[in-house]
Amino acid sequence: MSRHLEDIQQTAIYIPFDEDSDPDATVEPSFPSSNTAIDLDDGPRLRFEAYTAAWTQCLRRIKSIIAELYSPVVSAISDRMNNIHTDVLPGLPFPELPAITISDLAGGSVFLDHLSGRFDEDATFVNHLYPSDCLNLTSAMKNLIGGFIDRDPDAPKRKPTSLAPYDLNLLQAWYDVTKDPRPSLIVLLHDFEQFDTSVVQDIFYICSLQVERLPLTFMLSLSTPSSASYLQASFPRSTLTLLRVYHFVVPSGREVLHTLIFKTFFDPLCDFHLLPGPALLEYVEDYYTTHNPSLDALITLLQVAHLKHFTDVFTCLSTSTSFISSNPTASEQAFCTALLARLHPNKSKRNEGEWRAQARSPDILLQAVDRERTAFRRRATTIKMGVTLLNVILASLRGTAIDKALDRWRGAAGLRRVLDGDEAGVAGLADQLRKLPSADRDALLEKVETYLDDMPEALRPESGNGDLAGSLETFLSDLLEPPETLTPLWSIWYTGLTPFPSEMLNPALRPSILSGLSFPHSYTGQDLVLEDEETLEDLPDTSILFKGYVKAGKMINVYDWFDHFRTVLEGQRARAAKGKGKGKKVKDDGEEEDRWRLSVQARFIRALHELDYLGLMKHTSRGGGGRKGEYVLRTVLSVLE
Amino acid sequence: MALEETGYEKLVQEISSLFSGRAPPFLYINDPVSPRTTAHVVNSVLSSIAHSSDASSRVYHAQINAVACFNPRILYSTVLNQLAGWGVQWAQGSMNWGGERWSENLDGFVHGLKAVHSFIREKFLGSNKGKSKQTNDVTDLGQIVIVVERPERLSEQQVDILVPLTRLAELTQLDLSVILVSDVPWEDMRSPFGASPDPYYVDVLPLNKEALLRRLNAAFNGLSSGFESTTAANPYHPSLRSLYSQYLSVLLDSCSLYVQDPNELQYIAAARWPGFVKPILDAQNFRPDEDVDMDGNDEPALKPPPEDIRMRLIHWTMPPTGRHQMSQSQICLEIHRVKRNRCQTLVARPRSRTSDSLTCLACQKFILVAAYLASTNPHTSDVRMFGRGVDEKKRKRRPRKSTAKGGTTKASTERYVFLARIRSPLDRIIAILGALLEENDVDRRLPAPEYTIPGEQTDMEIARVGVYNAVIELADIGLLHRTSPSDKLDGPPTFKCGISYNTSAALARQLDVTLDDLLWDPA
């Protein structure tokens, strides 16, 4: 914990709730379950392990793909860095300050992490500056200088009579005594668009005066696609003349998304625990293109998808099955029964014997699961090959006459169309292929043949029955048969049409708050009480107050509101008394009554303030008393109950 | 004569004659064209005087830049350290000269200057101890000179320093001279009520063509002297000197009409020269009997600067051609572009983005269009423009009145471009966004069977974190202008739209929204 608190790179720190605040107590991760009734005793642990294995594998794959995607730009930048202060055009009137712009539409830290990973820590000092560090010139210079000189833990102590901490000469003095080989100094400005341009202008000017003796390099991280036009538009010419700018563009956009998705999940050579279904793919593409194009967000999204998937009770079977003893306990019994029911959704005469055997012995049942798994893996590989073949075809037809018509099979959205059993799949591809001119067709055939040569013998199509386009389409649709048809247990390895829990990543603020106030129990996880029988008295104070709020008019009289609240609390009290039985005589003395009244008032005020903090009311002076008037104004109207 | 003084002989002469006697305590050098060059020249003259053999005419000078010395403390310490010839040592805690608190305020600075003066005197006496005893007279010591570059920044940000700086000789009672070098006339930055004394004015005229030519040639000579011994082909080889001066005269003939700053001209000359001389060098390299030069080492040096790295030349110059020589008309064309583009950049200074740089997310596009509508339409028109009856399934689109008359369309469009922008609260922008989404985005959405009431899904969509996040991002990159203080919690923040009519129309077209139908037309 303390390690996180001291790390200045962390922008947010999560301090988990610790009930007895004992630092030694380790809390077992409790993994949620889709159906606790049939879950195994250590099901959460097993599923968590399965999740960890699957996600680690997936993340590693994603990271290596990202590294591959970024490596050309990263090495271009580091090549440029190597001679950025020596490769200078001779004869210039004064030295220019080298600046590298990195325009990364995706934003986020992924690319910059890759880049800083490339630099040698001892030879390259990178100073990260954020817009909040540079609100004015003094603090900007102080951070710029401090970022370098504070690395030295045993720097000589400076006195008030020393150089000012925002004086660039201080950095110069530090640089003059650094040992050979001198480190290269990089100032990395994150979110460059958010910097105050006048401050940045002055920084550039000051640093350019000393660049000959103090070789600083500026790196500007922008999220504007065209950094040249951004610089032109935001800075005067007098500043631009000081700079020698090199522009680099980080790959981003749909292409990156598709490469990532295909290479991660649909590479036939990679055997993954989880195959994403159409619904997930569609959501990923939608979220990436409309809301957040950053890779950080994409990775989080996939991780949430994994987490969600492994809440399914049966996913503990995703890789291994050797955990049910021959003498099953009660929970294991329940699990097996449910599994058996899942395995045989419609019992028929034909497989009744099999059913009996599996019902009798968990081992036989689990062997059946093993068989299903192997079958699913094989099918998954087939699908991946189909997807790859489709991509080969689509790639080779790029730029031809039918390019536009093929767009509906492209990308993650296209994948959804192909994998969704209800959609047309690849139907219609043959018609398009028939329209191809012969030269393009020959090129396509060549590509397809090279691809098919690498395929396993068993999967290759029978050759030649004249209509090539038609047979290609049939072949593809055979390969791409939706996995739901293969095994009743498909949901262990395939997300299918399960919708992504989008509320987790992109919640709607106001509706969530309101529904949280209206139905608090469905958020606190105590939703086992049947909703129909829930009365006002079961709710927490704030929600009771909120119910009154919803029913009121535009203005609420606070006293009436309190009255309503008190009535409900009285009801609560009476019920509690009844619950305890008549055994304990309720004393009717005045002191007790006074205390109760006070506590009702206190509870009311607390609940009122909670609603106030949520911004649900506006105080008025109606009824006298300035802002403490008798009436409050509702700020949220027309709440759906 | 030093390289940087070439062409500025008149200024050099004036300065040196001033400092051969007693220079006035306050000089103001005004060079409207290139103050940076002038400051270099002044410094170079002063440095040469500083080493003169005659002790009485020596000067001890410090040169500071008012932008770099953005704070009094930096200014004071820089001046004192330079005058005392003090090199700051990192190992000794980066101590300033003297180790006293002279940089804290003006009083300390005055004391510091006196201390520097006596330090200089002692050093001087110490070095002259054996030679003559009669040099005790302080006046023989020479002057202290402080050169301030870009002093206009002082009058903008540190007004309280400017007046004492101009009266420094009075304050310290020392033989001292302050020189301000600026492109702004003194009248524009002097403090009111005559707080500063009148300076001794020195005006620097723009260089004539002959002086420019000499200056640029001198720069080339300085470069080429490093290559004298080499025989390899090189764009800076001394044998190319005559070609270079021809090249310069062509360049100056066309450029000097428009650009007078010697720095700019030197830049253009330096950036274009490698491309200009390349064909000749290529011819030289491919001479069959000279295989020594074929080793390729020179190749990188021969490449013209890549287009993308030369910000200043992006629009200014043509890509280097393989042709033997750039004709006069080509250079003229370039200059024409230079002028045109400079005007464009100047006009484009208020943050406006071209539409091609606007490749943002669909969600952001909708927000921008909504914000544009919110800041163009008066809020009283919202119900009529976006409201819809409870029972109506689709809002009836108001038929556009002005489409019939072509003339009015144009006029009204122009009016929108220049219309004063209305500040509108975030909630209004979000509400208009909801109306836009309901009309135009429903078909593109993912199926969500859980929403049953018409419009419910839109209500959820516009309340999402992503939307608020996008608004903040847009405000950060300046496409929305936040008009309320960001630390105010009470009430919704207000925004103005930062994009033009044309840009928002382009965005609307990408979204299949007809923007003109949604703009309120009071006519």
Cα separation of A306 and A276, whole Å? Answer: 9
Q: What is the pLDDT of residue B447?
A: 65
Instruction: Give yes or no for a contact between B492 and B425, defined as CB atoms under 8 angstroms apart.
Output: yes
Q: What is the pLDDT of residue B197?
A: 86
Mark out the alpha helices in B455-510 (DSSP H runs): 456-462, 465-476, 501-510
What spatial distance separates the first Cα and last Cα of chain A, rounded to whole Å? 42
Residue A431 has pLDDT above 80, yes or no: no
> Nearest C-alpha of chain A: how many angstroms from B361?
5
Nearest alpha carbon to residue B316 among B296, B297, B349, B339: B339
Nearest alpha carbon to residue A166 among A187, A138, A127, A186: A138
What spatial distance separates the first Cα and last Cα of chain B, rounded to whole Å? 72
Which of 498-517 (A) contact B at CB < 8 A? 506-511
> Nearest C-alpha of chain A: how many angstroms from B415?
24
Place of tokens 């004539």: B208
Cα separation of A306 and A498, whole Å? Answer: 12
Asked if the C-beta of A296 comes within 8 angstroms of chain B's C-beta atoms, the answer is no
Q: Which residue has the higher pLDDT, A432 or A247?
A: A247
Nearest alpha carbon to residue A287 among B361, B325, B294: B361
Place of tokens 């065209």: A226
**Facing B311 at nearest CB: one of A167, A245, A289:** A245
Place of tokens 């590509």: A447
Q: What is the pLDDT of residue B318?
A: 37
What mean pLDDT is predicted for residues B484-499? 78
Instruction: Give yes or no for a contact between A224 and B477, defined as CB atoms under 8 angstroms apart.
Output: yes
Q: What is the pLDDT of residue B47?
A: 87
Please name every residue paired with A515 in a beta bridge, in sequence order, or none if there are none. Answer: none
- Token pair belonging to B146: 């402080």
Q: What is the pLDDT of residue A28?
A: 52
Sign of the Cα torsion B221, B223, B224, B229 reads positive
Residue B334 has pLDDT above 50, yes or no: no
| pLDDT per position as a tens digit, A75-130 | 999 888 888 888 788 878 888 899 999 988 776 678 888 888 888 777 888 888 99
The domain spans of chain B are 3-128+137-203, 209-291, 307-391+409-518
Is this complex scored with an ipTM above 0.90? no
- DSSP of A10-78: -S-------TT--TTPPPPPPPP-S-GGG--TTHHHHHHHHHHHHHHHHHHHHHHHHHHHHHHHHHHHH
Nearest alpha carbon to residue A385 among A480, A258, A483, A450: A480
Buried b / exposed e over B334-362, threshold 16 CB at 10 Å, is bbeebeebbeebeebeeeebbbebbebbe
Instruction: Give yes or no for a contact between B484 and B494, defined as CB atoms under 8 angstroms apart.
Output: yes
What mean pLDDT is predicted for residues B103-117? 88
Q: What is the pLDDT of residue B94?
A: 81
Residue B213 has pLDDT above 50, yes or no: yes
Amino acid at position B301, single letter: A
Please name every residue paired with B495 in a beta bridge, in sequence order, or none if there are none. Answer: B424, B482
Q: What is the pLDDT of residue A598?
A: 92
Cα separation of A445 and A468, whole Å? Answer: 9
Cα separation of B42 and B31, whole Å? Answer: 12
Place of tokens 């591959």: A68
Secondary structure letter of residue A630 according to DSSP: S
Instruction: Give yes or no for a contact between A69 and A256, defined as CB atoms under 8 angstroms apart.
Output: yes
Among chain A residues, the shortest Cα distance to B313 is held by A241
Residue A327 has pLDDT above 80, yes or no: no
Greatest mean pLDDT among A475-484, B214-223, B332-341 lies in: B214-223
Residue A508 has pLDDT above 60, yes or no: yes
What mean pLDDT is predicted for residues A426-432? 73
Residue A301 has pLDDT above 80, yes or no: yes
Residue B290 has pLDDT above 50, yes or no: no
Cα separation of A299 and A302, whole Å? Answer: 5
What mean pLDDT is predicted for residues A404-422? 71
Amino acid at position B129, single letter: K
Secondary structure letter of residue A212 according to DSSP: T
Residue A205 has pLDDT above 90, yes or no: yes
Lowest-pLDDT range of A454-468, A608-622, B307-321: B307-321
CA quadruple A46, A52, A58, A59: dihedral, nearest 10 = 170
Mark out the alpha helices in B129-205 (DSSP H runs): 152-157, 159-166, 168-172, 186-189
Asked if the C-beta of B311 comes within 8 angstroms of chain A's C-beta atoms, the answer is yes
Instruction: Give yes or no for a contact between A622 and A609, defined as CB atoms under 8 angstroms apart.
Output: no
**Facing A161 at nearest CB: one of B100, B267, B361:** B100
What mean pLDDT is predicted for residues A543-568? 87
Residue A539's contacts (CB-CB under 8 Å, 6 or more residues apart) are: A520, A521, A547
Furthest CA-CA distance within chain B? 109
**Facing B88 at nearest CB: one of A163, A229, A290:** A163
Residue B397 banded pLDDT, cuts 50, 70, 90: very low
| pLDDT per position as a tens digit, A302-316 | 888 888 888 887 777
Instruction: Give yes or no for a contact between B89 and B95, defined as CB atoms under 8 angstroms apart.
Output: yes
Residue A440's contacts (CB-CB under 8 Å, 6 or more residues apart) are: A397, A400, A401
Q: What is the pLDDT of residue B464?
A: 83
Lowest-pLDDT range of A156-160, A164-168, B508-512: A156-160
Residue B417's contacts (CB-CB under 8 Å, 6 or more residues apart) are: B500, B501, B502
Q: What is the pLDDT of residue A606?
A: 92
Instruction: Give yes or no for a contact between A345 and A77, defined as CB atoms under 8 angstroms apart.
Output: no
Cα separation of A264 and A69, whole Å? Answer: 13
Lowest-pLDDT range of A184-193, A467-476, B447-456: B447-456
> Nearest C-alpha of chain B: how many angstroms from A467?
37
What mean pLDDT is predicted for residues B326-343? 44
Residue B339 has pLDDT above 60, yes or no: no
Among chain A residues, the shortest Cα distance to B267 is held by A92
Among chain B residues, the shortest Cα distance to A510 is held by B463
Residue B398 has pLDDT above 50, yes or no: no
Q: What is the pLDDT of residue B414?
A: 55
Segment B310-317 long-range contacts (CB within 8 Å, at least 24 positions apart): B310/B271, B311/A228, B311/A231, B311/A232, B311/A240, B311/A241, B311/A243, B311/A244, B311/A245, B312/A237, B312/A240, B312/A241, B312/B267, B313/B268, B313/B271, B314/A228, B314/A232, B315/B341, B316/B268, B316/B341, B317/B268, B317/B271, B317/B272
Q: What is the pLDDT of residue B403?
A: 40
Residue B371's contacts (CB-CB under 8 Å, 6 or more residues apart) are: B424, B429, B474, B480, B495, B496, B497
Report the CATH fold assignment for B3-128+137-203.
Rossmann fold (3.40.50)
Q: Which residue has the higher pLDDT, A408 or B172?
A: B172
What mean pLDDT is predicted for residues B359-381? 81
Buried b / exposed e over B219-241, threshold 16 CB at 10 Å, is bbebbbeebeeeebbbbbbbebe
Q: What is the pLDDT of residue B128?
A: 61
Q: B492 by DSSP, 3-state: which?
A: coil
Asked if the C-beta of A384 comes within 8 angstroms of chain B's C-beta atoms, the answer is no
Residue contact B90–A94, C-beta within 8 A: no
**Facing B476 at nearest CB: one of A169, A172, A193:** A193
What value, to the nearest 5°, has the Cα angle with vertex B171 and ends B167 and B177?
50
Q: Which residue has the higher pLDDT, B419 or B119?
A: B119
Residue B287's contacts (CB-CB under 8 Å, 6 or more residues apart) are: none
Residue B276's contacts (CB-CB under 8 Å, 6 or more residues apart) are: B247, B325, B326
Asked if the C-beta of A137 comes within 8 angstroms of chain B's C-beta atoms, the answer is yes
What mean pLDDT is predicted for residues A473-482? 75
Among chain A residues, the shortest Cα distance to B217 is held by A91
Furthest CA-CA distance within chain A? 102
Q: Which helix (H) or strand (E) holds A200?
A: helix A197-209
Lowest-pLDDT range of A138-152, A256-270, B327-341: B327-341
Cα separation of A39 and A331, whole Å? Answer: 7
E strands along B77-199, which residues? 143-149, 176-182
What mean pLDDT is predicted for residues A513-528? 73
Q: Is A251 exposed, middle or buried (0-12, 13-18, 19+ CB in 10 A)?
A: middle
Residue contact B466–A174, C-beta within 8 A: no
Work out the number of other CB atoms within 10 angstroms of the CB of residue B370: 28
Q: B353 by DSSP, 3-state: which?
A: coil
Residues of chain B positioned with their CB less than 8 A from the CB of A247: 308
Which of 429-468 (A) contact B at CB < 8 A? none
**Facing B68 at nearest CB: one of A87, A209, A226:** A209
| pLDDT per position as a tens digit, A3-50 | 666 666 666 777 766 655 555 444 455 677 777 677 777 778 888 888
**Facing A226 at nearest CB: one of B73, B305, B357:** B357
**Facing A290 at nearest CB: one of B363, B453, B460:** B363
Instruction: Give yes or no for a contact between B277 and B243, defined as CB atoms under 8 angstroms apart.
Output: yes
What mean pLDDT is predicted for residues B438-467? 74
Asked if the C-beta of A348 comes within 8 angstroms of chain B's C-beta atoms, the answer is no
| pLDDT per position as a tens digit, B28-81 | 999 888 888 899 899 888 888 887 766 667 788 899 999 988 888 899 999 999
Interface test with B, best of A96, A163, A221 (most B CBs within 10 A): A163
Residue B18 banded pLDDT, cuts 50, 70, 90: confident
Which of 21-60 (B) contact A at CB < 8 A? 36-37
Residue contact A205–B271, C-beta within 8 A: no
Q: Mean pLDDT for chain B? A: 74
What value, to the nearest 5°, has the Cα angle with vertex A270 and ends A265 and A271?
90
Instruction: Give yes or no for a contact between A294 and A256, defined as CB atoms under 8 angstroms apart.
Output: no
pTM strictly above 0.80: no
